[in-house]
Structure 1
Amino acid sequence: MTTVLFRCDASFSIGSGHVIRCRTLARELQRCGAEVLFLCRRQPGDLITLLEQEFRVLVLPEQPLALCEGLEGKELYGAWLGCSQMQDADECLGVLESTGVCSADWLVVDHYGLDANWQAHLLKRLAGAVPAKLLAIDDLADRPHQADLLLDQNFFGTATEHRYQGLVPTDCCQLLGPQYALLGPEYAQLHPLMPPRTELRRVLMFFGGVDTDNLTSRALKVLMEPTWAHLAVDVVLGQQSPHREAVADLVSQRPYTNLHGPLPSLSALMIRADLAIGAGGTTTWERACLGLPTLVTPIAANQLEGVEALEKQGFVMTVPRLSFTESLLRSLGSISADPSWLFMSSSESLKLVAGYGAKVLKDHMFEVND
């Protein structure tokens, strides 16, 4: 039996995207008979309980929260790890040893705070009769990986194919672009059934489960203006969001508006919507796969470049955080005056993502393993 170890984290700072996309791949591997284990660190906002419903999770001890205020780039991502890379590696190995796991076929790493040093340390200690292979899932292209296989599902225009030059071994197989996005199987099933959007009647709003900046409330207040009172609105927000009560109050004041809690999949709401208002991240590719035009607000620095590339090609419109209300009003007005953008964005997005990324990646893993 193929054994696959996943190292990823979720927290209020990190968000949920890394764990959710790893869970998608883990499900695909598990369906094919692989034994899947997760290594996750306990911290506020982790998704360990969620993962434990389907997989065995080996829990790393919680560390005191690092002070992230004012940190950017690599310093910020290192703080997300909660400790040094070598401490994390040793704790991973200790937990694995204590549970009798001494080797693996694949190690999957999806964490901005880990690089080739951590990967080499783990691979050396996990070497069994057949050395473990490593899959790195990344978005940043800002550090080296000791990877046999690398996935970056993001779109950067013509730069997409060249971002990891010098950062991975020359024989590393690189899967780059949205065609490899890790989406649930329902997206591939629905993809060929979706027609391009042609008019604005229903809006889906989702800025992530936590929505620290409370962009949901700000967007709802815009849509409460008489000009947009006729639009039906679906709002998705996690129960753990500190703004849940305020959002629920606004929803209760607006006709044709529904508040949804955490959902197993957003696909059912996406296929009903004509326009999404939300953040970047993994949800970008879910929306694209179902041809849903989107007004996107980058909520993290690492989303900026990708969102700019998507806007340049006409896939999305950007609504910057610093001018959120004014930009949202302007974008809605533009769409209302000329709905042809909905058709163009929807048509082009459907060409970008077909939804088979997890299957393609699974096939590559087993092929490389053979």
Structure 2
Amino acid sequence: MRRIPFLFRCDGSPEIGMGHVRRCVALALALRDLGGEPVFVMRPIADTPLRVVEQAGFAVERVAGALDTAFTVDRAMAVGARCVVVDHYGATPADFRQLRAAGFQVAVIDDLADRDLGAANWVLNQNPDAVDMSYRVSPECRVLRGPAYALLRPEFSRIRQSQTRKFSANDRQVLVTFGGGATADTCAEVLVALNQAPRSFVVQCVLGGEGAATAGLDRAVADSKHEIRIIRNAENMADLMAAADVSVNAAGSTCWELCCLGVPMAILALAPNQAPNASALVRHGCACLAGFASQSGAIPETIAPLVTDLLTDPRRRSGMSARGRELVDGLGAHRAAQTLMDLSVTEE
């Protein structure tokens, strides 16, 4: 059977994080399982995003411009793609129209509903508040909304299927992760805040791949009452999450991975655009809001008592775990990929 080419356009960096890249890789893996042949176009602005894509087995075409649509069109034609998947806040309505005028189906992964997507054939927003967003799309556009389409890599579904969670008041495994854009300073402040807890934890602190070590982080680890392990460029995030009793994390795409594996969350919103996800997860009952980082980056002191309360209340965590697993089942990438494959076959 002839494999169907797809071209992905996304970027990642310490500033914008790894969420765009990781969810594109998840969708690309699902497309490959269904007979697709994805290729990526990316800016070489950081090593980690390129490495993540290449380690997943996908070719990467490097582009110099911020969002060079002409280059994207050229590469899509070169590989024979019929569909271009764009996950990029910098893409404009004019970029989408240019792709459509060149004869491609246009698929957009989006969070904000703040652009005219009239040229798109397919739009995906995996966030819970997507059902309340009004998208400017054509009547023929397929719009996929909500965590049923959360784009997770297949290892999360595999671990979920073999996982049996048990909760005890003696649990002490804490995961601290703020995604691929996490800085060492942010993690250091969380470790300092956790030092106010009345009991000691085992803390796995995962840093973004490009985050440089800082004196503040070294000092926070040295002064901590907890057992601290600093992990960079983690390639086993699903395993680390599965081993956690509680996670302290931002309200980005990492939340859907934690939901899938039933990890209770203490969410710290690091930016205004994370507030809707944070609120939705709290409403659903799978997370508690630790607070919002201030404009100066200060971490709320509520983290230590909140994590302590969660660890000493296994019944509460069991309920949070079950509700997280209800929200995200780990099959969203397959569902989304099947709709893209159906679209491509229909258009042939």
Q: Same fold (TM over 0.5)?
A: yes
Distance change (3 Å), C-alpha of 1:144 and 1:202: same
Per-residue deviation at 1:58? 1.6
* TM-score, normalisation: structure 2: 0.87
Alignment of 1:155 with 2:128, yes or no, is yes
Residue type matched to 1:235 in 2?
C
Mapped to 1, the partners of 2:325 and 2:73 lie a distance apart of 43
Q: Which residue of 2 aligns with 1:117?
A: 94
Q: Which residue of 2 aligns with 1:185?
A: 154
Alignment of 1:92 with 2:72, yes or no, is yes
- Choose which of 117, 137, 157 in structure 1 pairs with 2:109: 137
Distance change (3 Å), C-alpha of 1:226 and 1:346: closer
Give the number of aligned pairs: 334
Q: Which residue of 1 aligns with 2:58?
A: 55
Q: Secondary structure at the match of 2:301?
A: helix
Alignment of 1:287 with 2:258, yes or no, is yes
Mapped to 2, the partners of 1:333 and 1:204 lie a distance apart of 13
1:284-319 CA-to-partner distances (Å, cap 9, x unmatched) read 000000110111112232211121122133221122
Per-residue deviation at 1:12? 2.4
Q: Which residue of 2 aligns with 1:353?
A: 328
Alignment of 1:326 with 2:298, yes or no, is no
The 5 A counterparts of 1:196-345 are: 197-199=167-169, 200-212=171-183, 214-225=185-196, 227-229=198-200, 231-243=201-213, 246-254=216-224, 255-319=226-290, 320-322=292-294, 324-335=299-310, 338-345=313-320
Q: Secondary structure at the match of 2:106?
A: strand
Instruction: State, as a whole percentage, how many aligned pairs show the same letter.
Output: 29
1:64-98 CA-to-partner distances (Å, cap 9, x unmatched) read xxxxxxxxxxxxxxxxxx4xx6xx2224335x28x
Contact 1:206–1:278, Cα closer than 8 Å, also in 2: yes
Say which is worse superposed, 209-218 or 177-186, in terms of deviation.
Answer: 209-218
Q: Secondary structure at the match of 1:37?
A: strand
Q: Which residue of 1 aligns with 2:12?
A: 10
Mapped to 2, the partners of 1:239 and 1:251 lie a distance apart of 19
Distance change (3 Å), C-alpha of 1:281 and 1:224: same
Contact 1:183–1:355, Cα closer than 8 Å, also in 2: yes
| Structure 1 residue ranges, 4+ long, deviating more than 6 angstroms after superposition | none
C-alpha RMSD of the superposition: 2.4
Mapped to 2, the partners of 1:292 and 1:163 lie a distance apart of 28
- Choose which of 331, 334, 341 in structure 2 pairs with 1:366: 341
1:139-189 CA-to-partner distances (Å, cap 9, x unmatched) read 111112222221111112xxx324134x11122222111121111112112
Question: What are the ranges of 5 or more consecutive residues in structure 2 without an aligned counterpart?
Answer: none
Higher relative contact order (CA closer than 8 Å, sequence separation 6+)? 2
Contact 2:19–2:180, Cα closer than 8 Å, also in 1: no
- Choose which of 104, 107, 117 in structure 1 pairs with 2:81: 104
Say which is worse superposed, 348-357 or 195-204, in terms of deviation.
Answer: 195-204
Mapped to 2, the partners of 1:29 and 1:272 lie a distance apart of 29
Say which is worse superposed, 211-220 or 19-28, in terms of deviation.
Answer: 211-220
Distance change (3 Å), C-alpha of 1:143 and 1:227: same
Mapped to 1, the partners of 2:253 and 2:15 lie a distance apart of 16
Mapped to 2, the partners of 1:201 and 1:183 lie a distance apart of 26
Contact 2:105–2:120, Cα closer than 8 Å, also in 1: yes
Say which is worse superposed, 348-357 or 190-199, in terms of deviation.
Answer: 190-199
Per-residue deviation at 1:205? 0.7
Per-residue deviation at 1:245? 5.6
